[in-house]
Structure 1
Amino acid sequence: MTLHGGALCVLAAVMLAAVSSASVVRMENLTPSERVWQSRARDAEAGNGTNSEPGLTVGDPPQCRKHACPPTRVLADRGSYKEVYFPVAPYAKSRVEGKSLVPAVLDLYKRLRGYITGDNKKKQELPMTLPVILRMDLGDGGMFNPKNFTMFFYVDPSVKSPPAPNNDDIDVLDVNSYTLYIRTFSGYPVTYGDWMKELLQLAADVEADGEPYSKDYYYFASYDPPTQLTGRINEVQLLKPHKFSSGP
């Protein structure tokens, strides 16, 4: 089997550009539901780990104290991984097919980075958020050589009306609630194999617990720039099928 050496270094490099050039959008005239997101962003900045919506956690990992992260609720902590619920939230996403990992990541990030830095119908700059999420869709290439990729940027809660993208390959939408099994690990994953080692361990642990998960795709999430050598947070994620995901 062939591993993509250095491929996820590209994802880490993406984070360097993302974090270093994040901008701020003014918050005003929010609806009641949008005030929940505003409150969450302020709590995250303060690092107090609270939220206006009961049960949703903030500031974990600590990188989310500086940049907005999606709201979550931990449904179960099983030691080696957590079962985490995500409520409905807005995301910008883009997909490529038929490419290998490195060119796919570069292409997807360029599109989404362009969108949040002003390449949209309003020419509006949006704050960068965390994490950068990459979904691999399994196809003919199999788990170790995926050819279809989707990247997601969570839309900062301060953006009350996300602008329409200029690029037709970008979608901005509210993603329905979902539940993930998430394995968090530290260190500096360099190769695709480093990430797959953690993903396969997550799959083994989830199966050992008798929990169902989708075998059609999986996710990597990165929170840190490549210049950060310590305190790094990385995640591998598997999706719990919706029919088994009752939420909070």
Structure 2
Amino acid sequence: MSGGSAAPLTGRTALVSGGGSGLGAAITRSLLTDGARVVITGRNETALKETASRLGPGVTHRVCDVSRPDDVQELARSLADEEISILVNNAGIAGPVAPLTEIAPEEWDEVFDVNVRGVFLMCRAFLPAMTQRGAGDVINIASVSGKRPLLRRTPYCASKMAVIGLTTTLAGEVGPQGVTVNSLSPGPVSGPRMERNFRLEAQRTGSSYEQAEDAFVSRSALGRMVTEDEVGDAVTAMLRMRGLCGADIDLSAGMVAR
């Protein structure tokens, strides 16, 4: 998908939260391929440095916990001289795998602090400059799990539905100023996070790892999970779709939300 000319990213600067690994790194690669400069943020400075070094001189990094207002304000101050015209809110945590009645309030709050509060704080910090310029793009990474039942994952599912609701409402607020806001909802993405979830689910249910994985994969029309690179390419494809605003896009290998 990368490399299209309908809306070239050359000369634009993107800010990607949770950019030190996984989906954030894949999104960063795709943005770089399409010509953007990228600032990646996250809590793990070592991971950020390694990713920036691996991806090349088009990437810089800043340490930031998106759930902390002071951190986000400091991030905005440190980037005051940059014209951030693309914001990808990717930072998120999976949270506990347990029945709701066994989830501690602190665990619930931690998921919402990162997955929802983080999106709010980042948008609050970086949208004003976009609306003043009359241009900009925000993509929030949600999940198909926000739109269908996923047993023993209530904090995560509820937080991702909240991101979708935030997206559609915010699009109406800032669209008239020329800023687009959309969300991308991946299905299960192959990688360490899903491997962790499959292990926890297998332990919880007394099933095998393979059975826990198959319970996810069997719901997909393509019979597989999506890849990190496919998610990265979907972000840049969405940025080329100039009429896209207030939308939530499924990328689930056919795991249609019901």
Higher relative contact order (CA 8 A, sep 6+): 1
| Structure 1 length-normalised TM | 0.26
| Structure 2 length-normalised TM | 0.25
More strand by share: 1
More helix by share: 2
